[in-house]
């Protein structure tokens, strides 16, 4: 026992010393310095198809929550879904995948089909492989012309601002293929 504490004591000692040192050298909580401003230089247009598969044994979109009145609501008000949907070059699910739309959407309109979408578009092809954009907004799915804001991004899309124009391409049962034109200033 005695020899064990003899071995452990210096260890504990050096660990607490290390902790002290770490605390002293930690970075300041905040730093503010003059910034020359960021001027977006490019406008990138992306075009792809978003596959929202709810039915079958390989859904891309899963219902995770609902309100007591969701099933009796004409607009499924209160339903919350989580999705990892493929984004492909062509309208066919088997065409080349260029990224994934990962996020969630919830029915937030009592009168018409209107979803609040919270998505990260994570690209996996070409020069934007590894870059993401954050898309957030209202999607009134029955409207022909819809628009969702692009509110930020990572990688090649740092500082991104822009908008996405979804257009329903095909509906099969409760599944949908949606064509997207996305304009990103970055």
Ligand X SMILES: *[C@@H]1O[C@H](CO)[C@@H](O)[C@H](O)[C@H]1NC(C)=O
State the minimum distance, in angstroms, from the CB of residue 97 to ligand X: 9
Binding mask 5-44 for ligand X (x = CB under 6 A): ----------------------------------------
Binding flag, residue 125, ligand X (CB under 6 A): yes
Q: Which is nearer to ligand X, 141 or 148 (CB)?
A: 141
Q: Which is nearer to ligand X, 70 or 108 (CB)?
A: 70
**Chain length of the chain:** 186
State the minimum distance, in angstroms, from the CB of residue 59 to ligand X: 12
Task: Classify residue 8 by burial, with Cβ atoms within 10 Å: 0-12, 13-18, 19+.
Answer: exposed
Residues 179, 92: Cα–Cα separation, whole Å:
11
Q: Which is nearer to ligand X, 16 or 71 (CB)?
A: 71
Q: How far is residue 108 from each of residues 19, 21, 136, 143, 147, measured CA to CA in Å?
A: 48, 51, 13, 16, 16
> What are residue 61's DSSP bridge partners?
83
Q: Which is nearer to ligand X, 70 or 116 (CB)?
A: 70
Q: Which is nearer to ligand X, 108 or 151 (CB)?
A: 108
State the minimum distance, in angstroms, from the CB of residue 71 to ligand X: 4
Binding flag, residue 71, ligand X (CB under 6 A): yes
Q: Which of 108, 99, 152 is nearest to 127 (CA)?
A: 99
State the minimum distance, in angstroms, from the CB of residue 129 to ligand X: 4
Residues 46, 63: Cα–Cα separation, whole Å:
28
Is the dihedral angle over the CA atoms 50, 55, 60, 62 positive or is it negative? positive
> What are residue 87's DSSP bridge partners?
50, 99
Binding flag, residue 69, ligand X (CB under 6 A): no
Binding flag, residue 129, ligand X (CB under 6 A): yes
| Interface residues toward ligand X, by CB under 6 A | 66, 71, 124-125, 129-130
């Amino acid at each position: 026992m005695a020899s064990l504490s003899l071995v452990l004591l210096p260890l504990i000692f050096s660990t607490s010393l290390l902790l002290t040192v770490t605390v002293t050298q930690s970075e300041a909580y905040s730093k503010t310095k003059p910034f020359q401003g960021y001027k977006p230089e490019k406008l990138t247009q992306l075009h792809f198809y978003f596959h929202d598969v709810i039915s079958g044994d390989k859904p891309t979109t899963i219902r995770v929550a609902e309100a007591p009145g969701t099933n009796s609501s004409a607009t499924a008000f209160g339903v919350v879904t989580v999705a990892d949907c493929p984004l492909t070059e062509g309208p066919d699910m088997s065409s080349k995948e260029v990224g994934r739309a990962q996020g969630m959407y919830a029915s937030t309109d009592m009168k018409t089909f209107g979803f609040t979408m919270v998505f990260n578009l994570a690209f996996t092809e070409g020069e934007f492989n590894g870059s993401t954009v954050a898309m957030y907004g209202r999607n009134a799915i029955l409207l022909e012309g819809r628009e969702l804001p692009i509110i930020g991004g990572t990688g090649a899309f740092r500082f991104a601002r822009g908008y996405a124009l979804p257009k329903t391409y095909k509906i099969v049962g409760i599944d949908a293929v949606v064509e997207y034109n996305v304009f990103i200033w970055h």
